[in-house]
Every structure is written in structure tokens, then in C-alpha cells.
Amino acid sequence: MVRQREVRRRVGRFVRTLFLVLVLGLVPTGSAEGGIPQPPAPAAQEGFVPVDQLPPDEQLPAAPLLIAAYAVAWLAVFGYLWSVWQRLSRVEREIAEVSRRIEAGARR
């Protein structure tokens, strides 16, 4: 009889402790999800920021890039044309010289 009372007392203590743990554990989670509104994420973290809205120190000037691109294009074209012209002039000069030597050899 005394033993049964002791078991009942222990079970009751366990149930009370379990109830307290559950209540204390769940209450903060429940109130955070349902009650307190979360502040909205700042715009920069949400995704795209238009380039013209960046701070001035983060903006990249376009003009030097544009000038560099056109300078490279013109230099490459003129450089190549000059190179072909030089090679052609050299070959034509050499053709004339070798032809002259062949003609001179034929005359002898």
C-alpha cells in the first residue's frame, strides 16, 4: 500500500516535470512565430541593385572601358594592315630582284 502510494507520487512528479518542460519549451517558439512581426530584409539582401543606384565609390566609369575597346580595335586593324603591307612590299621587292637575276643569267 505504501509502495503503491510512493509509485503514484513519483509518476505524478514525472508528469508535472514533463508538462513544465513542454510548456516552457514551446511558449517562446509559439509567440515568435505568431505574435512578434519580423522586420523586412533590407533591399540589398533581396537581390538585384540597379547599377545607377550604387554609391559613387562603387560605380565603375564606362568611358575608359569604351575608349580602350575602340582603341584596341583600331590599333589591331591598322597594325594588321601595316603588317600585311610590309610583307607584301618585301615579297614584291624580292620577286623583282630574283626576276632580274634570272634575266641576267639568261643573257649570259
Partner 1 sequence: MTKAFLPLTILAAAMFGYAPIMIANAPFESTMGLVQKIFYFHAPSWFVMFAGAFICGIASFMFLFRGSRAADQYAVAGAEIATIFGLIGMVTGPLWGRKAWGVWWQWDARLTLAMIVWLTFIAYLLLRRYGGPGSNKLAAGVGLFGAANIPFVYLSVNWWRTIHPKTSVVPTLGPGMRGTFWFCVAAFMVLMTLVLAVRVRLERGKAQLDELYLSLED
Residues that bind partner 1 (CB under 8 A): 50-52, 60, 62-63, 65-66, 68-70, 72-73, 76-77, 80-81, 84-85, 87-88, 91-92, 94-95, 98-99, 101-102, 105
Q: What is the dihedral of CA 27, 29, 33, 39, to 10 degrees?
A: 120
Kind plus residue range of the DSSP H or E element containing 101: helix 63-107
CA dihedral 75, 78, 84, 89 (to 10 degrees): -130
What's the closest the beta carbon of residue 79 comes to partner 1, in angstroms? 9
Picking from 73, 53, 51, 72, the residue whose alpha carbon sits closest to that of residue 62 is: 51
Instruction: Compare residues 34 and 64 and give the one whose CB is closer to partner 1.
Output: 64
Q: What is the DSSP letter of 108?
A: -
C-beta closer to partner 1: residue 21 or 84 = 84
Q: Which is nearer to partner 1, 46 or 103 (CB)?
A: 103
Shortest Å, Cβ 53 to partner 1 = 12
